[in-house]
Amino acid sequence: TRAMACDFSVIMNPGPTEQIEAAGKALEAIHASEAWMSIYRENSEFSQLNRKAADAPQTLRGDMFELIHTAQKIHLTTDGAFDMATGALTRLWRACRQEQRIPAQTEIEAALAISGMQHLTLNPQENSVAFRTPGILLDPGAIGKGYALDDAALQLQQIEHSPQSFLLHGGHSSLKAFGPHNGHPGWPIGIGNPLFTEQRLGTLLLCDRAMATSGSNIQFYRHEGRRYGHILDPRTGWPVDGMLSVTVLAPSAAVADALSTAFFVMGVEKACLCCKNWPEVGAILIPFPDKGRKVCPTVIGIPEDHIVWDEDQVVLQDGLSFLKQASSDATL
């Protein structure tokens, strides 16, 4: 099924035909999630919140409040590298791209003034959200697809005749896997080469976890000879430069989605440090290579026997070793 501007599907092991109907019902849940999350639908609950929350606190449905509360937690633990309240910045860059220009710094500063989760007041007792600054626009784009996968996976597990094992994905960049596949303890997932998209850097075994990848190798544009990616640093308002891709494994697809964006913004060293706040999270961080065709992924919190790398394309960097080296370099 197609929702949130990408294709969603469920992959299952061979089994009774009833599990196909169960998968169809789970995919329908994604459309329901899009209906209340989309800021491109005037009457969605997020659009209504964006219009009204600066005037008075808005009481929200439980799952919507929990999504915003999770986004706030991730915002705090990533030092603002993930920020759901950046709709003004996103709109500015989208408009400038259509006009084939780059925003002026004054335009970016004006958008930054009405951006940021720090302008929100959340009341867990009443499930309410208020904006302390008029003009704030919440955009769940970097976490919403993952949330929809989490919800669909939960519903699939609860439906009668549900499959024992499945792989659920949205646009191939957000996935959630349960159970074994084809004699393996999990589902084999290809790790794409962000420089040569027709090639794979390796294969990862995903089981009972979610996975999300953020990168700028596909969504970018050039202006006056310079390359601009689509992922913005919410603290500066400018596109991020320096990372090729980030893949995050987490129990929740929403958390994996958000952290993959945050780690992309933070860069390798700060992302490695941030992982200490998320012990249940694993990551593959791929910066631009210094020279040659081989990339140098930094791997954090993923067992070595869960990934098979193509040694012709990869030079590995362990996350702990990276931090020790960075600390050593800093003392020189």
Report how far residue 231's alpha carbon sits from residue 240's, in angstroms, rounded to the nearest whole number. Answer: 6
Q: Is the dihedral of CA 291, 219, 281, 137 positive or negative?
A: positive
Region 287-295 average pLDDT: 82
What pLDDT does 322 receive? 46
Q: Work out the pLDDT band at 58, boundaries 50, 70, 90.
A: very high
Q: Work out the pLDDT band at 189, boundaries 50, 70, 90.
A: very high
CA angle centred on 144, ends 38 and 18, rounded to 5°: 100
Pairing relation of β-strands 298-300 and 317-318?
parallel
pTM for this prediction: 0.92
Q: What are the Cα distances from residue 73, in Å, to 81, 122, 160, 213, 312?
A: 12, 11, 34, 20, 39
* Tens-digit pLDDT profile for residues 240-280: 988 999 999 999 999 999 999 999 999 999 999 999 889 99
Q: Which domains does the chain have, with CATH numbers?
A: 57-135 (1.10.3980.10), 180-331 (3.10.520.10)
Residue indicated by tokens 């390796």: 202
What pLDDT does 195 receive? 84
What pLDDT does 218 receive? 58
Report how far residue 34's alpha carbon sits from residue 106's, in angstroms, rounded to the nearest whole number. Answer: 34
What pLDDT does 175 receive? 97
Q: Work out the pLDDT band at 132, boundaries 50, 70, 90.
A: very high
Asked whether residue 34 carries a pLDDT value surpassing 50, the answer given is yes
What pLDDT does 293 receive? 74
> pLDDT averaged over the chain?
91
Asked whether residue 87 carries a pLDDT value surpassing 70, the answer given is yes
What pLDDT does 331 receive? 39
Q: Work out the pLDDT band at 104, boundaries 50, 70, 90.
A: very high
Asked whether residue 57 carries a pLDDT value surpassing 90, the answer given is yes
Residue indicated by tokens 């420089």: 195
Report how far residue 280's alpha carbon sits from residue 245's, in angstroms, rounded to the nearest whole number. Answer: 20
What pLDDT does 330 receive? 44
